[in-house]
Amino acid sequence: MNTFTPVIIIGCGPAGAGASLFLSRAGIPHIILEKDAFPRDKVCGDGCSGKTAFVLRKADPALLDEIFSDESRFLPSFGVTFAAPNGKSIDVPFSAKHKQDRPPGFTSRRLDFDHFLFSKIQGPHARIIQNATVTGLSRTEQGYAVSYRNGATEEVLHCSLLIGADGDKGISRRQLLDGNAPSKTSSVGLRAYYEGVTGMHPQHFIELHFLNGILPGYFWIFPLPGGAANVGIGMDTALVRKKKINLREVMLEAISSNPNIRDRFTHARLSDKIYGWGLPMGVEPTKVSGDHFMITGDAASLIDPFTGEGIGNALYSGMLAAEAAEKALQAQRFDEGFLREQYGDVLFRRIGDELKLSYTMQKLVRYPWLFNLVVNKAHKSPALRNTLSSMFADLDVRALLRQPSFYWKVLTNK
Ligand SMILES: Cc1cc2nc3c(=O)[nH]c(=O)nc-3n(C[C@H](O)[C@H](O)[C@H](O)COP(=O)(O)OP(=O)(O)OC[C@H]3O[C@@H](n4cnc5c(N)ncnc54)[C@H](O)[C@@H]3O)c2cc1C
């Protein structure tokens, strides 16, 4: 077997699949090494935002046609419900500012969504090897030698360019980013699948419940196809440790006793075990590339620190890494400077402000009184509800949150 390929991708979650879709479009041969076999599960809230739809549309509009014509796997979603610590909630439709003929987002079990992506990346330029756990990365004159275990055998492949897309606990984050991978901003989340939760929004809004005691984390209920629900809780890992919080107990307590939540679970049934996983949050630009490599998705800590969304940024960073790979192969430049310019700089120019603003929002959510105030006022003020709605799509509107005058207006708004 020829053991050289221009590009190797480690991991076939949204980041790896995103990179593969765009490499194939550019006609670049590549190999994807994935430790599991599809269909496989991934602990997640299963909520896909407009950014996910944007990247998929860019890769191939037919992908979205398929998604929005199959409600047995993909449930369209039109907004988000925020419940403040005092229990009051507001419905915020995803902004209709950018006119489109499609719902802005959808939910899909990762078992289905990732399998869908996997089924779309096979083609003449992409070769995927499943059950292939990457165990070692070593620099060669040409680029990288990638060792992996495939069943009982150990194999080695060579490439000019490596794309790390192996998530929070993968090898590329550990080995290639070395001490540069930020961890102090990480959160931890639990996911449970339920059947029979009642009181869902008719337009399948996802729900974020900001509960006292876990701020700036939240409890969520996301409607899923087939009447099921993804229910979970997420919180800053350092706070969990510091306050010695048992997240599982807090989640089950909210379900059984919180006056705004418990009635909806009266006839609900847990349909799977409760699983936990880390959320490496993106806060500021960090190192995401080096000689002969680029890191994407969770491996590069790109999760939105306010909403906990990482699928969109994983796909987006995969797309940018593929575009940078095309330029690197054309120029035959794989050095750190070139890849930083073509990938890391572009990535943080596009999503850096968004991450920073989300971090600001995350910090504000630590103050329950402020949150209660904004939600109370938004209840009475359509204008404020509109502003909040626009914040999802419009960074200029989101930037208002940094200005004290925004809160003054909220306070004085009757
Ligand atoms: C509890 C929880 C709730 C969340 N809710 C949401 C949500 O509702 N919406 C949202 O947008 N995001 C959510 N996220 C974040 C989202 O799950 C991640 O951001 C997203 O999965 C990142 O995609 P990725 O491709 O970078 O990594 P992953 O999805 O983790 O994929 C990495 C892939 O690499 C493979 N791999 C790992 N190591 C190796 C190896 N050594 N060799 C070969 N392959 C390897 C893995 O098997 C996996 O297939 C949530 C996360 C958690 C934990």
In angstroms, what is the span from residue 103 Cα to ligand 1's centroid? Answer: 24
Handedness of CA 356, 357, 361, 364 (dihedral sign): positive
Q: Is the CB of 223 under 6 A from ligand 1?
A: no
The three-state DSSP-derived secondary structure of 58-114 is: HHCHHHHHHHCCCCCCCEEECEEEEECCCCCEEEEECCCCCCCCCCCEEECCHHHHH
* CA quadruple 344, 348, 350, 355: dihedral sign: positive
Tell me the CATH number at 203: 3.30.9.100
Same structural domain, 56 and 199: no
Print the SS3 string covering 231-263: EEEEEEHHHHHHCCCCHHHHHHHHHHHCCCCHH
Q: Could you give the number of structural domains in the chain?
A: 3
Question: Which pair of tokens denotes residue 215?
Answer: 């701020």
Distance CA 114, CA 117 (A): 5
Q: Are residue 266 and residue 317 in the same domain, yes or no?
A: no
Q: Are residues 20 and 143 in the same domain?
A: yes
Q: Are residues 56 and 194 in the same domain?
A: no
The answer to whether residue 154 is domain-embedded is yes
Assigned domain for 97 exists: no
* Cα distance between residue 45 and residue 230, in whole Å: 6
Q: How far apart are CA 51 and CA 179, in angstroms?
A: 30
CB of 10 closer than 6 A to ligand 1? Answer: yes
End-to-end CA distance of the chain: 73
Domain assignment present for residue 88? The answer is no
- pLDDT of amino acid 80: 87
Which pLDDT score, from 0 to 100, does residue 95 have?
A: 65
Structural domain contains residue 94: no
> Residues 116, 212: one domain?
no
- Same domain for 291 and 224, yes or no, is no
The per-type count for the chain, helices as H runs and strands as E runs, is 14, 19
Indicate the residue among 246, 279, 312 that finishes a domain.
279
204 and 230 in a single domain? The answer is: yes
211 plus 317 within the same structural domain: no
Can you give the pLDDT at residue 410? 60
Domain-embedded: residue 158: yes
Q: In the beta sheet, which residues pair with residue 282?
A: none
Asked if residue 357 lies in contact with residue 395, where contact means CB atoms within 8 angstroms, the answer is yes
pLDDT at 139 (0 to 100): 97
pLDDT at 91: 86
Asked if residue 259 has a cis previous peptide bond (ω within 30° of 0), the answer is: no
**Does any domain span residue 29?**
yes
Residues 106 and 156 grouped into a single domain: yes
**The two structure tokens encoding residue 211:** 């509960």
How far is ligand 1, taken at its centre, from the CA of residue 149, in Å?
21
Question: Does residue 323 sit within a domain?
Answer: yes
Give the position of tokens 């006056």. 259
- Asked if residue 311 has its Cβ within 6 Å of ligand 1, the reply is yes
Distance from residue 314's CA to the centre of ligand 1 (Å): 8
How far apart, in whole angstroms, are the C-alpha atoms of residue 248 and residue 232? 9
Cα–chain-centroid distance for residue 240?
Answer: 21
Backbone phi, psi, residue 377, to 5°? -70, -40
203 inside domain: yes
- Dump the DSSP string for 199-229: ---TT--EEEE--TTSTT-EEEEEE-GGGEE
Q: Is 8 in the pocket of ligand 1 (CB under 6 A)?
A: no
Is 264 in the same domain as 151?
no
Please identify, among 245, 279, 313, the residue that sits at the C-terminal boundary of a domain.
Answer: 279
Element (DSSP H or E) covering residue 389: helix 382-391
Residue type, 193: Y
Residues of the chain with pLDDT under 70: 1-2, 95-101, 179-185, 371, 386-414
165 lines ligand 1 (CB under 6 A): yes
Q: Which of 339, 283, 106, 278 is nearest to 206 (CA)?
A: 106
Identify the pLDDT of residue 279.
93
Same-domain status, 109 and 34: yes
- Give residues with Cβ within 8 angstroms of 26, minimum separation 6: 322, 323, 326
Which residue range is the domain that position 152 belongs to?
Answer: 4-76+102-182+281-361
Query: Do 334 and 371 fall within a single domain?
Result: no
Q: Whose alpha carbon is nearest atom 2 of ligand 1? A: 44
> What is the spatial distance between Cα 12 and Cα 32, in angstroms, rounded to a whole number?
7
Final residue belonging to a domain, choices 279, 305, 324: 279
